[in-house]
Chains A and B, each alone.
Chain A
Amino acid sequence: MILNIENLHASVQGEPILKGLNLKIQPGEVHCIMGPNGSGKSTLAQVLAGRDAYEITQGSMTFKSKDLAEMEPHERACEGFFLAFQYPHEIPGVSGLQFLRAAVNAVRAFRGQEELDAMDLMSLFKEKAREVNISFDDLKRAVNEGFSGGEKKRNEMLQMAVLEPQLIVLDEVDSGLDIDALKVVSDAVNRMRTPERSFLVITHYQRLLNYIVPDFVHVLVDGRIAKSGGKDLALELEDRGYAWVEEHAGAGAE
């Protein structure tokens, strides 16, 4: 199993947000989480990534059988956990190239691998940038500074492609994307689908799932998974809205 979350409770500033969440992800699977605003989707992503501000009050989460709660954020990253942020941050004065190099070398150092040769890295970055439609000149700009919303999302995809993680959480990677960018981003994800790699896709829009076809869809309501199903669940949700799930909450939950 790649990810195993059992009865996870987490709160921020004393306020419980996740209230007994269960989720299992096997290698190669694509899971999708949908749910109303404020239901805790981003919180789940941040808790998995190790954000300090969230306190885990109950339950457990393991990544490749390792207890995530015991790991520093960078250790989780180095072990192959990647979060594509809903709002990627700017790093003024640090170029995209510099950032990618720092990240790749940090991950390699963690794994006891040698630093990659600067020239090899450069050609790797160039190739991956082309795949997500980012020009080489844009890689010389400061990370996310002055980039449009859609460009920032493509930057996230580039980092993902370069770091080759094993579990990828995409937090609203489709928000603010035009049709073409949506295609670029989903292609980037689909290119990375392998029997070993898993995804957790957080979104509000069924449309994304036409491009990234999930194996499972879960509906998160009030910090708990209220309903799970196959990819058709998303279509049903679009028809009926979240109220329908909330009414039946409990019935569809595992």
Chain B
Amino acid sequence: MSPSQEIERLAKREYDYGFVTDIESETLPPGLDESVIAHISAVKKEPQWLLDWRLKAFRHWQTMEEPHWPHFEYNPIDYQAVSYYSAPKQNSDGPKSLDEVDPKLLETYEKLGIPIHERERLAGVAVDAVFDSVSVATTFKGKLAEKGVIFCPISEAVQEHPELVRQYLGSVVPQSDNYFSALNSAVFTDGSFVYIPKGVRCPMELSTYFRINAAATGQFERTLIIADEGSYVSYLEGCTAPMRDENQLHAAVVELVAHKDASIKYSTVQNWYPGDENGKGGIYNFVTKRGKCAGDRSHISWTQVETGSAITWKYPSCILQGDESVGEFYSVALTNHCQRADTGSKMIHLGKNTKSTIVSKGISAGRGQQSYRGLVKMMKGAKDARNYTQCDSLLIGDRCGAHTFPYIDVRNSTAQVEHEASTSKIAEDQLFYVQQRGLDAENAVSLIVNGFCKEVFKELPMEFAVEATKLLAVSLEGSVG
């Protein structure tokens, strides 16, 4: 078999996380109107202000148009055909401890390789597991509480810490920011809430695993992370979904707030079902992620490894408001088969001496199409601000494509913006060189791709770098055409 055939064969390999958990769910019938929103709010026993907030977002959303500027086309989304709430049936108030969690759910997470049994964890990683529209388990809450760290489902935070939620919700991503953030604000179901008190270094990695299970259901999670002055937290999210023929909608909003001298490291390993090799099925992933470096010397770092989804539309951004604050974006995005990704970052420099770095590594294989879209904005007050952007594309085979759309807007003459871009191909002779040393085609491609992604992988927390490497190897299918 030639290398190309070999890789073609790998391409046929199945998505490992495509199973469906057979669990009894309470799912709202498809459709969206104010009564649906009222229902979601009621199920979650939300206070009136939050219902009002949702309805306001919904009314605004109805006046908006779905954006069609990204560099891909897709079947129109029928928002009335989506169910906006689905939760596994459980005892009235939800499980108090892991022992009360439905074993089928625990089994699901086990199959996904996600550790929600605290006793099985070696490394200290606290996990919040979100299944369809609800959080089913959060580990290590007690241990975190000793330090004053709050890590819980956002629905719980609404009950337990309403003042924090009310203060920060929508403070970084306003409801009306864009079409999908408005939709999310109206119908968001669950997601994680994190608060790190002043001066606390969060003693373990925090992570959330999102799992879409139910058919014809959208997932609209909302994550809010607040790092108070001088604190530090590293947070990781992972995502998977069953294989289904129809496209499923995922529209999340993530807001980060870093106060003075605080640091947030946010890592994502996104592996939603990408659809089959002909582009049937897969998740539509429309995500708004934004962090505000509110205080001086604050630091927000986004690291993402995006291998899944049929469509990805996502631009994790930083608003560098505090002086000397730092924003970073490290990204590996892989599009294989018929996947489309339009992704990048926005760095908005407001404060003096603010610094941002964007490193984007796009890998296209099969008939995958990928665009880097980035905005670097140096506002009037951004004296001596600096940005460095590096944007590399790797093409595997000749049926895929890579595109770059960098936007630069400088309004302060002392600011410096640097942009580097490259496009390369895995050359047949390079691949051959590696094979001549004993690696088969699959391993040779994955070694080369790993090298290409190195600058990003080294930003991932250790535990997840290995996972990301493996994931990339599995997702690299249909390479070298």
Chain A residues within CB distance 8 Å of chain B: 49-53, 72-74, 76-78, 82-83, 85, 88-94, 98-99, 102-104, 106-107, 110, 142, 159, 163
Contact = CB atoms under 8 A, between A and B. Distances in A.
Interface string B430-470: 10111111111101100110111111000000000000000
Contacts of B35: none
A49 B353 CA distance: 55
Given A92-B452, A142-B451, A163-B438, A53 B433 contact: no
Classify the interface of chain B: helix, strand, loop or mixed: helix
A52 B432 CA distance: 9
Contact of B451 (A73, A74, A76, A91): A91
Given A52-B3, A72-B1, A73-B432, A93 B454 contact: yes
A73 B450 contact: no
Contacts of B438: 74, 77-78, 103-104, 106-107, 110, 163
Given A74-B441, A106-B443, A92 B451 contact: yes
Contacts of B3: 52
Contact of B447 (A94, A104, A107): A94
Interface residues of B, number: 27
A94 B448 contact: yes
B454 A103 contact: no
B428 interface: yes
Interface in B418-435: 427-430, 432-435
A159 B437 contact: yes
Interface of B: 1-3, 427-430, 432-441, 443-444, 447-448, 450-455
B447 A73 contact: no
Contacts of B441: 72, 74
Contacts of A106: 437-440, 443
A74 B430 contact: no
A52 B428 contact: yes
Nearest to B458: A93
A89 B429 contact: yes
Contacts of A159: 437
A90 B441 CA distance: 17
Contact of A102 (B2, B427, B443, B455): B443
A92 B449 CA distance: 9
A74 B450 contact: no
Contacts of A92: 451-452
Contacts of A107: 438
19 contacts: A51-B432, A52-B3, A72-B441, A73-B432, A74-B435, A78-B438, A83-B436, A85-B433, A89-B429, A89-B433, A91-B447, A93-B452, A93-B454, A94-B447, A94-B451, A98-B447, A99-B434, A102-B437, A104-B438
Given A53-B428, A103-B439, A106-B443, A94 B433 contact: no
Contacts of A142: 451
Contacts of B1: 72
B435 A88 contact: no
Given A52-B3, A93-B455, A102-B443, A73 B429 contact: no
Contacts of B443: 102, 106
Nearest to A87: B429
A245 B439 CA distance: 40
A215 to B, nearest CB: 25
B2 A52 contact: yes
Contacts of A74: 435-436, 438-441, 444
Contacts of A49: 432, 436
A163 B437 contact: yes
Given A73-B436, A74-B435, A74-B436, 19 more contacts: A49-B432, A50-B436, A52-B428, A72-B440, A72-B441, A77-B435, A82-B436, A89-B430, A91-B433, A91-B448, A91-B451, A92-B451, A94-B454, A98-B447, A106-B437, A106-B438, A106-B439, A107-B438, A163-B437
A83 B437 CA distance: 9
Nearest to A142: B451
A142 B448 CA distance: 11
Contacts of B454: 93-94
A219 B206 CA distance: 67
A159 B438 CA distance: 11
Contacts of B437: 77, 99, 102-103, 106, 159, 163
Closest 4 interchain pairs by CB?
Answer: A93-B451, A94-B451, A93-B454, A103-B437
Contacts of B427: 89
A243 B450 CA distance: 49
A102 B439 CA distance: 7
Contacts of A163: 437-438
Contact of A88 (B2, B433, B455): B433
Contacts of A77: 435-438
